[in-house]
Structure 1
Amino acid sequence: MISPRHPFLDHPGPLAFAHRGGDADGLENTLVAFRRAVECGYRYLETDVHATSDGVLVAFHDATLDRVTDTRGAIAALPWSTVRRARVGGREPVPLFEELLDAFPGARINVDVKAEAAIEPLVDAVRKAGAWERVCVGSFSQRRVARTRALAGPRLATSLGMRGVATLRLLGYGGRALGRLGGGEAVCVQVPERFRGVRVVDRTFLRAAHSRGLQVHVWTVNDRDRMSALLDLGVDGIMTDRIETLRAVLAERGEWAGGASR
């Protein structure tokens, strides 16, 4: 376990992330799902953010409401007055990101910034809540991570964008001519075990990350055997939809250290 470079990562043992709150009967990214994860003992919650057409920041994965709610349309094209009426799984409202910060003050929240328009509202929400030690921001887009970091300053924890991840992987295999890694302020790297059929997380990748002081968190791992194998390999955190399974695996290894206050 690599030593933390930011208070967000200050936690004994491997970090267990409830991905979108966990698989809670189709109610991903809802207060119900996140509450269930916290009650299960999770201290780390993972979510995504988009901004409505009038700049309201919501915790939601997709760019549109179509897949998981009873409403249709792109979030970026709809006002909050419309989005607030949508129901995930036909039951639960789409939460504001600030609601997560308020509802779970003992939890730490990993945020995937899905759109440029969400960056400023996100930084404003974290600033308003004084939640600099409780939030880590990442994205596939290196540009979005960099812009968020530029607006927030060094108080905000960030992970490497995917361009930085690719560079890190190649550097681990001796690609010295690639130049700078980029994202020098990052405190972790968050990656899938495989990407487009190519293995990302192996001992060489972990060694390259750890030698640069970066924790490695792997998403989204739902199989018990893969969880155990990755933990044996030395990853620093796992994101999962199967929150009870990951908790059981960590407990069996004597590495479960949950318990966020509500």
Structure 2
Amino acid sequence: MHHSLARTVTAAALLGVSGFVTMPAHAAPEALPSPTVFAHRGASTEAPENTLAAVRRAHEQHITWIENDVQRTKDGALVVIHDTTLARTTDVEQVFPDRSPWRVADFTLAEIQRLDAGGWFAPRYRGEHIPTLLDYLTLLDRNRQGLLLELKQPDLYPGIEKQTIATLARAGWLDADHLTGRLVIQSFSAPALRRTHELRPAVETGFLGSPPVSRLKEYAAFADQINPDEKNVTFAYVTAVHGLRGPDGKPLRVNAWTVDDLTTAIRMAALGADGIITNRPDVIRNGVQ
């Protein structure tokens, strides 16, 4: 991952602020690169998650990386939404009251595009829609933003790895510009991530979770990143991850999630995390970069 290195922070300074980091006595403080900040589902505390409005808001905040989730409709369209059901972030219960449990996979794209995906968040966002992956990619490209794309529960959508790669290719996202610093595909599913790597080895991949140190080498065969819950991030774990090289021959990277307070963000930076995934990208960016 290419980082914004406009500023650096020192481990000593961060340790003094956070008060939570334990490092070996022999680990001398040294300059650390500022972690990359990823807007989790877009600027999701200020606009409805995973919508184009959340992307635009992150762009207004000068956030250069967006995290999102992809799933598939009944008729095979790839759409950007986190939950496997439509109930929490749309008005589907009012529009289709008899279609419980309102699974994404049970609705066609045309039906999903009838839904309001913004009014639940705030009245001014009423009329926002669940975007297709292609529409999402188009806006990111217009904004020159990078994408951390999660394959959401891929076991529900057989073949979604191949379809996602094909959509990225169609949108022009598999050229050198995107592959060398603007695209990462991640998943909690190791098999899905392995299939993604086999389909297009040049695409950077990230495993969501914290495999034991004893198994990290297995993951390094198909993952360029290990992206753990921030509660599982320790200096020893980050050091172990950084000590291995991924399929691209570069050291594995670590992106911690989901970090919404500065104390935790500063601690992640002090521990050597390469990136921070957050719902408050402007706040976290201003605190760690």
Query: TM-score by structure 2 length?
Result: 0.74
1:115-174 superposed Cα distances (whole Å, 9 cap, x missing partner): 3323232111111122132321111111111122222x2121101254xx313xx33xxx
1-structure distance, mates of 2:220, 2:56: 33
SS of equivalent residue, structure 1 residue 166: coil
1-structure distance, mates of 2:238, 2:133: 32
- CA shift for structure 1 position 247: 2.1
Task: Say whether the 8 Å CA contact 2:47–2:54 is kept in structure 1.
Answer: no
2-structure distance, mates of 1:180, 1:46: 26
1-structure distance, mates of 2:4, 2:260: 22
2-structure distance, mates of 1:84, 1:149: 31
Q: CA RMSD in A?
A: 1.8
1-structure distance, mates of 2:36, 2:286: 14
Task: Say whether the 8 Å CA contact 1:56–1:121 is kept in structure 2.
Answer: no
Q: Hey, what does 1:148 align to over in structure 2?
A: 196
Aligned AA for 1:124?
Answer: A
1:161-214 superposed Cα distances (whole Å, 9 cap, x missing partner): 54xx313xx33xxxxxx59523413221111112xxxxx210110110111111
SS of equivalent residue, structure 1 residue 41: coil
Matched, 1:185 2:222: yes
Partner of residue 109 from structure 2, selected from 80, 86, 89 = 80
Partner of residue 218 from structure 1, selected from 248, 251, 256 = 256
Task: Say whether the 8 Å CA contact 1:83–1:94 is kept in structure 2.
Answer: yes
1-structure distance, mates of 2:107, 2:49: 20
Structure 2 vs 1, CA of residues 84 and 179 (structure 1 numbering), >3 Å: closer, same or farther?
Answer: closer
1:226-247 superposed Cα distances (whole Å, 9 cap, x missing partner): 1111111211110110122112
Partner of residue 23 from structure 1, selected from 44, 52, 55 = 44
Structure 2 vs 1, CA of residues 219 and 203 (structure 1 numbering), >3 Å: closer, same or farther?
Answer: same
Q: Hey, what does 1:115 align to over in structure 2?
A: 153
2-structure distance, mates of 1:96, 1:183: 31
- CA shift for structure 1 position 47: 0.2
1-structure distance, mates of 2:220, 2:243: 15
2-structure distance, mates of 1:228, 1:180: 28
2-structure distance, mates of 1:159, 1:40: 25
Aligned AA for 2:163?
Answer: P
Instruction: Extract unaligned runs of 5+ from structure 2.
Output: 6-33, 94-101, 120-125, 245-250
Rg larger in structure: 2
Task: Say whether the 8 Å CA contact 2:80–2:133 is kept in structure 1.
Answer: yes
Aligned AA for 2:184?
Answer: C
Q: Hey, what does 2:99 align to over in structure 1?
A: none
1-structure distance, mates of 2:284, 2:216: 37
Instruction: Extract unaligned runs of 5+ from structure 1.
Output: 172-177, 195-199, 256-262
Task: Say whether the 8 Å CA contact 2:227–2:254 is kept in structure 1.
Answer: yes
Q: Hey, what does 1:127 align to over in structure 2?
A: 169
- 1:32-181 maps to which residues of 2 (within 5 A)? 32-72=53-93, 73-90=102-119, 91=126, 92-105=128-141, 106-116=144-154, 117=157, 118-132=160-174, 133=179, 134-151=182-199, 153-162=200-209, 165-167=210-212, 170-171=213-214, 180-181=217-218
1-structure distance, mates of 2:270, 2:216: 31
Aligned AA for 1:138?
Answer: Q
Partner of residue 209 from structure 1, selected from 241, 246, 269 = 241
SS of equivalent residue, structure 2 residue 228: strand
**Count of residues in correspondence between the two structures:** 228
Task: Say whether the 8 Å CA contact 1:219–1:238 is kept in structure 2.
Answer: yes
SS of equivalent residue, structure 2 residue 219: coil
